[in-house]
Structure 1
Amino acid sequence: MVELSVTELESLRSELAYLEEREAYLKAQLEHVDEILRSARFSGYLYIRTRWTALPGEPPPLDDTDVDDWLPRFVVLNGPCIFFYLLSTDFSPQDSTLLADIVEVGSLPSFTRENDKTWYSSYILTRQGLRYECSSISEVQVDSWLKVLQ
């Protein structure tokens, strides 16, 4: 027979309550991802970076093609919006843009990153002058996004 002190019993109850809470949270995350994937027209991980276009009278932006500031994002096209999540399991997007605000989409030159892999890229330009640059080692994935957005 195992005997537990009151303190040990309370500790186990507390740990069990924490684990039940954690399980409920993870189930909610899974349901959220499931809902996103069911309702999304298109989704997937892309590497993203943002740039602003120069306003009239401003000098052109610095050439920053050598700056490696690509960040992985889970991108979801759902309804009239594109949502940018840090992870596919996040409840709230970090950024979004309306499809109606997109004025141009197109290809960018491919480039080489780590391990000499070729990265394929495209851009999404909004009427506010925000340019989302998107890249992936999968040319098919980049082309699919371009086709969906054009």
Structure 2
Amino acid sequence: MFSPLLSFCYLQRWTALPGEPPPIDDTEVDDWLPRFVVLHGSCIFFYLLCTDLSPQDSTLLSDIDEIGSLPSFTREEDETHHCFYILTRHGLRYECSSISKIQVDSWLKALEADCKLDSTAKAPNGLSET
């Protein structure tokens, strides 16, 4: 059963789509962008604003190979951000963060259930834990 879920999250994507410049791998650049993220039916939709009619990006749940937690970090506003990632079979890696740990846990739980994945099965680097 698919669980509807929507919230604002900060998002960064680590793989460029065709025609896009490669992502900047620079710790000095804050490339976390606020996005309205919606889990609906068999897709995750990424909107710039909650009032947008069309998403900027989307991913089918059937394309998701792996999800999991990432270490928390503190932004310049002294807010701790809790993080998780989504890895697709096409090589796209989305990293999402929120100041709400409950929100991140809700996303992980919903994605695990809807994608039939276990985020505890793999470490954040993609290697199996022993």
**Structure-2-length-normalised TM-score:** 0.74
**Aligned match of 2:72:** 110
Root mean square deviation, CA, Å: 1.9
Q: Which amino acid aligns with 1:51?
A: W
Query: In structure 2, which of residues 94, 99, 111 is the aligned counterpart of residue 149 of structure 1?
Result: 111
**Aligned match of 2:12:** 49
For structure 1, the residue ranges without an aligned partner over 5 or more in a row are: 1-39, 54-60
What are the residue-to-residue correspondences of 1:1-150 with 2, within 5 Å? 41-52=4-15, 64-150=26-112
Identity of aligned residues (%): 68
Moved over 3 A (4+): 61-67
**Aligned match of 2:119:** none
- Deviation, 1:89, is 0.4
Structure ID, larger Rg: 1
Q: Deviations over 1:80-114 (max 9, x none)?
A: 10000000100000000000000000000000102
For structure 2, the residue ranges without an aligned partner over 5 or more in a row are: 17-22, 113-130
- Deviation, 1:115, is 1.9
Measure, in 1, the Cα distance between the counterparts of 2:76 and 2:25: 20
**Structure-1-length-normalised TM-score:** 0.65
**Inter-CA distance 52–42: structure 2 relative to 1 (3 Å threshold):** same
Q: Which amino acid aligns with 1:136?
A: S
**Greater relative CO, 1 or 2 (CA 8 Å, sep 6+):** 2
- Deviation, 1:62, is 8.3
**Inter-CA distance 92–119: structure 2 relative to 1 (3 Å threshold):** same
Measure, in 1, the Cα distance between the counterparts of 2:71 and 2:26: 14
- Deviation, 1:72, is 0.6
- Deviation, 1:64, is 3.9
Q: Which amino acid aligns with 1:68?
A: D
